[in-house]
Structure 1
Amino acid sequence: MAVGHERVITEIEKHARQARTGDEAKMRQSIAAIRALCDLLLDGEEQPAAPAPRAIPLAASPAPQPVLTEKKLKEDGANGDSLFEF
């Protein structure tokens, strides 16, 4: 859910008032909140300008690989078709 620019600016103004009236610790907290709200506004503006993913043309698809036939080894003492034939 997107937050409107006016709502964010109103919150920035509220924190600016708190920064002016509070002590040092509250002022730092309010300024940090203002920074976060500014980042929220700036990131919201940059998001639609993100490049769209490129499509791969169909003509550039790789040639199909040939299927290799499997030759079974015949050894004395083997366990048959097991993967663990030693």
Structure 2
Amino acid sequence: MAIDTMRILNEIDKHTTRARSGDSAKVRDSVAAIRALCDLLLEDDQPTIDKQVPRAVPLASPQPQTVTAVNKLKEEDANGDSLFEF
């Protein structure tokens, strides 16, 4: 849906008039509106490019790792197989 260029320019004129006759808060609001309207005009003039939305890449399910051989470390002063037994 394209918006008529003249309608946008008329809105820019309205906000320009408000910015010239208003206080600093109104000036700031009017300038922000003018910026948005200018962006709208510039966006309309550019050829439309298909913007591809980045898609999430499905993660591969982790493959279970199997341990083929267990080599236990034997120490003289160890109390058992647990890691917490000192």
**TM-score (structure 1 length as normaliser):** 0.54
Give yes or no for the alignment of 1:10 onto 2:10.
yes
Letter in 2 for 1:24: S
- For 1:47 and 1:40, locate their aligned partners in 2 and report how far apart those are by CA, in whole Å: 13
1:1-86 alignment runs, 5 A limit: 1-48=1-48, 50=49
Instruction: Report the RMSD for the aligned CA atoms in angstroms.
Output: 1.3
Task: Tell me by how many angstroms 1:47 deviates.
Answer: 3.2
- For 2:27 and 2:38, locate their aligned partners in 1 and report how far apart those are by CA, in whole Å: 16
Give the structure with the higher percent helix.
1
SS in 2 for 1:30: helix
- For 1:15 and 1:33, locate their aligned partners in 2 and report how far apart those are by CA, in whole Å: 7
| Number of residues of Structure 1 aligned to a counterpart in Structure 2 | 50
Letter in 2 for 1:16: T
Q: Which runs of 5+ in 1 are unaligned?
A: 52-86
Task: Tell me by how many angstroms 1:2 deviates.
Answer: 1.7
Q: Which runs of 5+ in 2 are unaligned?
A: 51-86
Percent identity for Structure 1 against Structure 2: 52
Q: Higher Cα Rg: structure 1 or 2?
A: 2
Letter in 2 for 1:39: D
Runs of 4+ in 1 over 4 A off after TM superposition: none
